[in-house]
Amino acid sequence: MSTPNPCLFCRISEKSLPADVVWEDDDIVVFKDIHPKAPIHLLIIPKKHIKSLADADDNDEAILGKLLLTVKNMAAKLGIEASGYRTIINTRSHGGQEIDHLHIHLLGGEPLGPMRSR
């Protein structure tokens, strides 16, 4: 028996861990956040294991662009393009990143207010 992938989001991408997947293609998986912070809270991830935005390099140019376009397309599909939405990429410890696999949060479905001030 092979050892399970230590990365939670790789396991979701490989389908060895269940998740509420709403869309995917060869490069990207979109699934619902398990602890939603808004009526719509999706996570958009590359199938390729990239630890964080800070770990992406020039070879990742295409996938980084595709991730953002997927956010835009998902928002349109869910009917929140006109009302608007928030995208968040938490990076490493000061950014509050808990899962070390690059992901974009897509939040919407209600007014989210301004970002927290200091």
Residues that bind Zn ion (CB under 5 A): 7, 9-10, 49, 101
d(CA 97, CA 92) in angstroms, rounded, equals 5
Question: Which of the residues 35, 41, 94, 103 is marked catalytic?
Answer: 103
Burial class of residue 28 (count of CB atoms within 10 Å of its CB; 0-12, 13-18, 19+): buried
Q: How far is the CB of 19 from ligand 5GP (least distance, A)?
A: 5
Q: Which of 62, 82, 98, 113 binds ligand 5GP (CB under 6 A)?
A: 98
- CB-based contact 89:67 (threshold 8 Å): no
Quick one: what does residue 97 bind among ligand 5GP, Zn ion, none, with the CB cut-off 5 to 8 Å set by partner type? ligand 5GP
Indicate if 49 belongs to the active site: no
